[in-house]
Chain A
Amino acid sequence: MSESKDTKRIEIRLSGSGGQGLIFAGILLAEAIGIYGDKNVAQTQSYGPEARGGASRSDVVISEDIIFYPKTTELDILLALTQEACDSYYPALKGGGTLIVDSTYVSQVPTDKVYSIPFTRIAREKIGTPVVANVMSLGALAAITKVVKLDELEQVVLSRAPRGTEDKNKAALNEGFELGEKAVKDYRAKFIDAPRRQ
């Protein structure tokens, strides 16, 4: 929305393949910001007629102003959990935008300015199931982009998670947040502190 001068507008895409829980992650993110936080949100999704497999994405627009146009045109933040999603949607990320990928599945990144975290592998190893990779990636997104507070996400995860999965989801969220903080340090060391060396 470069023409709108609406600098407070942030456009986020969570992408991957059907079944990875990205539409659910979009709902969690939007609810954390719009209900537990105090900004306006609009969450939209795109999916084909198939139930699993195929590209899946969930877009979240955040703004302090009223959101009229509910979809995204230039992404500020792109989360890609598969190589296909990363390849398809990277061109929609605007210059200087934030790219976060799941390095379990994304081996070829289109830029070196990327936060690369093996969400699915760590979810499997530390939490015992890969299905919480979506929630883990939201924790990392919170630490890296600061568009949402960890405690807002935690409240919504606890209220929305299927009964009996609250602990695993909460653990995944916190693990993701720590991984995100670490990724920020590595990123700073590489791109912000490093250029000072002669």
Chain B
Amino acid sequence: MTENRSYLLQGNQACAYGALAGGVDFFAGYPITPSTEIAEILASELPRQGGRFIQMEDEIGSIAAIIGASIAGAKSMTATSGPGFSLMQESMGYAYMAEVPCVVVDVQRGGPSTGLPTKVSQADTMQAKWGTHGDYYPIVLAAASISECFHMTVRAVNLSEKFRSPVVLLLDEVLGHMRERITIPDKSELELVERRKPTVPPEWFKPFELTPTHISPMAGYGEGYRFHCTGLTHDSSGFPTSDPAEIKDKLDKLKLKITQNSDEICTYKQEHIDDCHIVVIAYGVAARVAQQAVRIARHKRFKVGLFQPDTIWPFPEKALRKALENADLAIVAELNQGQLINEVKRIAHSKVKVDGIFRYDGDIMTPHEIVKKIREAN
């Protein structure tokens, strides 16, 4: 890839090049449609750039390998789809608990189970939030264009490094496979974040030290800082604890490092919010359809706007509440039987009616389906 040049790329290709630009130097994965191109490109490119690529025996091994690589100091990533994302959930819990930065890309296809390998879906929306057990606060991003596949992969790496947490990037079959023009930015235009390293002598180092930001500096294994890493609930030294105060401190830390920084983490886009009575809410590829629908409807003089979260977890709650201030109706468009709509219902004021357009037959909805709903409401 030459910088500052335009290419016709698939979403999966853009994601792989985003990973390289974002500093990913370790990828472990197991090929699965519709995510395979990400692994394919990184298998050829990473070794050339001094990184490592491992094809693991399955997705359980893949997530374990990227966690290990990250603890040893690498910026690590894996990519998968529904069945593989399910297999990764247990160890993703370990990564949340042990506060290990890593990126998991889920190119969504139809489910449950083997489902529809070559067809689109957004039915992992809630799995990305609640896939593993216990209380935890994931960061989940969703791209809607080929350019965003590149830039959001860079951002996912940055957020994982900054917040010492796994970050999930949701793509989908349509976006992963469709081709669109993208200009690869110059490296100097990209801001890359490195995890905070300890500045204390090794004998003072506490890998899960309580700090005002709730984020603890992280040493890499092999850098002279010995520390214990476990999925058991642990104290600031990393060793298991059953002390109620320490247990609460740990779970509060996991929560607060995300919730206290949600303004920084949550990004979103909105159009025509100032004068609209109807707000269409959509993310990912469904948001593209909604953008087209809003243009058609406004051309017909309907007062309608669009709210598109880039970060779906944590959901940009304050921004949506503000966007719905003058609205009577929110229409949530998603490629599942209704998942994100429940979050919108939770956030919306009681006077706002929340309705949905759900498509789950393996194709994306058309703009006309959304326009029809807007017309029916008027």
Seen from chain A, the residues whose Cβ lies within 8 Å of a Cβ on chain B are: 1, 3-5, 27, 30-31, 34-35, 40-49, 67-71, 73
Contact = CB atoms under 8 A, between A and B. Distances in A.
Contacts of A27: 8, 179
B292 A35 contact: no
Contacts of A4: 292, 295-296, 299, 367
Contacts of B299: 4-5
B371 A69 contact: no
Contact of B179 (A1, A30, A71): A30
Counting from the closest, the 9 A-B pairs by CB-CB distance are A68-B292, A43-B179, A68-B291, A69-B292, A31-B8, A68-B288, A44-B178, A34-B181, A4-B296
Given A41-B181, A69-B288, A49 B118 contact: yes
Nearest to B177: A45
Contacts of A73: 366, 368
B291 A40 contact: no
Interface of B: 6-8, 33, 117-118, 174, 177-181, 285, 288-289, 291-292, 295-296, 299, 363-364, 366-368, 371
A67 B367 CA distance: 12
| A31, A40, A69 — most chain B CB neighbours (10 Å) | A69
Nearest to B363: A71
B8 A71 contact: no
B118 A70 contact: no
A interface, over-half SS: mixed
A42 B180 contact: yes
A34 B8 contact: yes
B177 A44 contact: yes
A70 B288 contact: yes
Nearest to B116: A49
9 contacts: A3-B367, A4-B292, A5-B299, A34-B180, A35-B7, A41-B8, A42-B178, A67-B180, A70-B288
A3 B371 CA distance: 9
Given A27-B179, A70-B174, A43 B8 contact: yes
B181 A40 contact: yes
A69 B33 CA distance: 23
Contacts of A3: 296, 367-368, 371
Contacts of B295: 4, 68
B292 A30 contact: no
A70 B180 contact: yes
Contact of B118 (A40, A42, A48): A48
A35 B177 contact: no
Nearest to A27: B179
Given A4-B292, A71-B174, 9 more contacts: A1-B292, A3-B367, A3-B368, A34-B181, A42-B179, A42-B180, A43-B179, A47-B118, A68-B367
B368 A35 contact: no
Contacts of B178: 42-45, 70
A69 B288 CA distance: 6
A137 B368 CA distance: 32
Given A34-B8, A35-B7, A47-B118, A71 B364 contact: yes
Contacts of B285: 70
Contacts of B33: 49
B18 to A, nearest CB: 19
| A27, A35, A42, A70 — most chain B CB neighbours (10 Å) | A70
Contacts of B7: 35
Contacts of B179: 27, 30, 41-44
Given A35-B7, A35-B8, A41 B371 contact: no
B310 to A, nearest CB: 16
Given A44-B177, A44-B178, A68 B289 contact: yes
Contact of A44 (B174, B289, B292, B367): B174
